[in-house]
Amino acid sequence: MLSQRIIETTVGLFMLAAIAALLMLAFKVSGLTSFFQREGYDITAEFDDIGQLKVRGPVKIGGVTIGEVTKIHLDPTTYRAIVTMHIDARVKDIPKDSSASILTAGLLGDNYIAITPMYAEDFLANGNQIQNTHSAMILEKMIGQFIFNAGHSTKDTSKNATNGEKT
């Protein structure tokens, strides 16, 4: 009787350990937890428009992922988006005068932050802010501006032609 109870207890503990391991694996793969945040430092940048940038979006230098977006919030006074990025500890020497741009992977892909290093001898550290930023280019806005500009240029051309002016 006692050995049966020990076997059942051992199997139960093994099952609990297996379930806990599967849960940790699921959280790690999905990125819904910060249990496994890598060593590194946080920097921020302000943007006028972040497009479809999301938390966990990649941060890249030269196409190589060096970190990820950890937080996005709106500044209540300037109405600009403040993006917090976690940079891996292995990337230590990003110059302070670097610029951050929000780019799109492919024509309609996800947005990511591309950092372009500059030439300062001081480097970004935990809590620093990138001053030089370039907002996302929104495809819908660009198409709207093109249509608006095309509509005005055809009206001006037809107006000049009716007045007898050369176009």
| Residue 74 dihedral angles phi and psi, to the nearest 5° | -100, 130
Amino acid at 33: T
Statement to judge: residues 9 and 84 lie in one domain: no
Statement to judge: residues 29 and 52 lie in one domain: no
Residue-level pLDDT, tens digit, the chain, 167 residues: 678 889 999 999 999 999 999 988 887 777 665 556 678 999 999 999 998 899 999 999 999 999 999 999 999 999 999 999 999 999 989 999 999 999 988 777 789 999 999 999 999 999 999 999 999 887 777 788 889 888 777 665 555 555 555 54
Q: Give all strands of the β-sheet with 132-134 in edge-to-edge order.
A: 129-130, 40-47, 81-88, 64-74, 58-61, 111-116, 99-104, 132-134
Statement to judge: residues 60 and 104 lie in one domain: yes
86 lies in some domain: yes
In the structure encoding, which two tokens stand for residue 145, read together?
């501006």
Statement to judge: residues 101 and 137 lie in one domain: yes
* Domain ranges, residue 13: 1-35
Statement to judge: residues 127 and 57 lie in one domain: yes
Statement to judge: residues 13 and 45 lie in one domain: no
29 lies in some domain: yes
Statement to judge: residues 12 and 89 lie in one domain: no
Statement to judge: residues 111 and 131 lie in one domain: yes
Assess contact for 83 and 45: CB atoms under 8 A: yes
Statement to judge: residues 19 and 92 lie in one domain: no
This prediction's pTM: 0.69
Query: Number of structural domains, the chain?
Result: 2
Positions of E strands within 48-98: 58-61, 64-74, 81-88
Statement to judge: residues 31 and 44 lie in one domain: no
Statement to judge: residues 44 and 1 lie in one domain: no
Residue 158 has a pLDDT of: 52
